[in-house]
């Protein structure tokens, strides 16, 4: 899962929930005063196709390094959105690893490679504007984005079939603890990953991605009793996700 920025106010999106079972309608919510555990996430499908560029960790890393989440949040509405470090919005967890913008490094990772990727998203705001900005930012490092705006039902069908290359979606934590999102971003298994149907439908499953070390690390952090040690474990998981996750 790529760069994230979260909602500062009540912008909970019904197209997806932390249960892994996205809903099909879009509903605009009025601003509120309290932060919400909601993230807008760019997901990369690593797939099994040898021609899939997103299978390469260097390409995924380059995409992360090319995206400026601060300018994204400012362009949308700095009172409503804020850039978020790692897989947890600030309302769930403070600190964390902040993804660094470094387009020179992104170009180095990509070398002379030039390719096109399709980005699926639900039509309407704010996604349409986000896609415009992402298209411009990734073009700066040699990646062409082709936007595919869908209604909620079409988007959900493609996501469930794991047919997307890139998908822009909203993710809401099920409960106010870092493990809710750690499970969503990290939990998968070799068997689940091969199955076309999954009960859990985590973000890792949607991305066809499984990393045993990260998955086991998330489980260990969930049961860690010491708060300081638990924070260290989540810091390490986030670092690994930003290094090689989807």
- Find out whether 181 and 20 touch, Cβ atoms under 8 Å: no
pLDDT for residue 169 is more than 90: yes
Strand 81-83 and strand 4-7: the pairing is antiparallel
Question: pLDDT value at position 1?
Answer: 62
**pLDDT per residue as tens digits for the range 72-114:** 888 887 667 788 767 877 667 766 666 689 999 999 999 988 8
Between residues 45 and 193, the one the model is more confident about: 45
- Give pLDDT, residue 99: 67
Give dist(CA 115, CA 30) in Å, integer. 39
Indicate whether 59 pLDDT > 70: yes
Over residues 129-149, the pLDDT tens digits come to: 999 999 999 999 999 999 999
Residue 88 pLDDT: 78
Is the Cβ–Cβ distance between 245 and 60 less than 8 Å? yes
Which range, of 95-99, 154-158, 181-185, 199-203, averages the lowest pLDDT? 95-99
**Pair 178, 91: CB distance under 8 Å:** no
Taking CB atoms within 8 Å and a gap of at least 24, the contacts of 134-138 are 134/42, 134/67, 134/72, 134/168, 137/66, 137/67, 137/68, 138/63, 138/66, 138/67
Quick one: pLDDT at residue 197?
A: 67
Q: Is the pLDDT of residue 124 over 80?
A: yes
- Which pLDDT does position 89 carry in this prediction? 72
The answer to whether the bond into 126 is cis (omega within 30° of 0) is yes
φ, ψ dihedrals at 52, nearest 5° = -75, 110
pLDDT for the residue numbered 13? 40
- Confidence band for 63, pLDDT divided at 50, 70 and 90: very high
Decide if pLDDT at 224 tops 70.
Answer: yes
Beta strands in 15-61 (DSSP E): 38-44
Give residue 78's pLDDT.
Answer: 61
Q: Is the pLDDT of residue 206 over 90?
A: yes
How would you label 130-162 residue by residue, b for 16+ Cβ within 10 Å and e otherwise?
A: bbebbeebbeebbbebebbebebeebbeebbeb
Asked if residue 119 has pLDDT above 90, the reply is yes
22-26, 52-56, 105-109, 208-212: which has the minimum mean pLDDT?
22-26
Paired tokens of 86: 């790692």
Contacts of 157 (CB under 8 A, 6+ apart): none
Over the chain, what is the mean pLDDT? 83
The answer to whether the beta carbons of residues 81 and 7 sit under 8 Å apart is yes
Higher-scoring residue by pLDDT: 55, 14:
55
């Amino acid at each position: 899962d790529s760069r994230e920025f979260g909602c500062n106010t009540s912008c909970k999106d019904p197209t997806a929930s932390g249960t892994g079972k996205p809903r099909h309608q879009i509903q605009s919510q009025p601003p509120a005063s309290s932060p919400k555990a909601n993230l807008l996430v760019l997901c990369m499908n690593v797939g099994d196709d040898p021609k899939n560029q997103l299978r390469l960790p260097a390409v995924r890393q380059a995409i992360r390094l090319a995206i400026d989440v601060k300018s994204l949040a400012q362009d949308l509405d700095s009172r409503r959105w804020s850039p978020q470090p790692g897989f947890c919005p600030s309302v769930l967890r403070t600190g964390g690893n902040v993804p660094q913008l470094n387009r020179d490094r992104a170009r180095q990772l990509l070398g002379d490679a030039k390719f096109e990727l399709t980005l699926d998203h639900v039509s309407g705001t704010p996604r349409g504007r986000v896609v415009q900005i992402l298209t411009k930012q990734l073009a700066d490092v040699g990646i062409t984005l082709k936007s595919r705006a869908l209604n909620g039902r079409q988007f959900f069908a493609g996501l469930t079939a794991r047919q997307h290359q890139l998908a822009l979606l909203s993710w809401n934590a099920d409960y106010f603890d870092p493990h809710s999102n750690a499970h969503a971003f990290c939990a998968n298994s070799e068997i689940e990953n091969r199955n076309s149907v999954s009960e859990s439908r985590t973000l890792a499953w949607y991305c066809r991605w499984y990393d045993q070390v990260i998955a086991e690390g998330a489980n260990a952090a969930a049961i860690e009793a010491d708060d300081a040690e638990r924070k260290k474990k989540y810091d390490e998981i986030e670092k690994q996700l930003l290094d090689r996750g989807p």
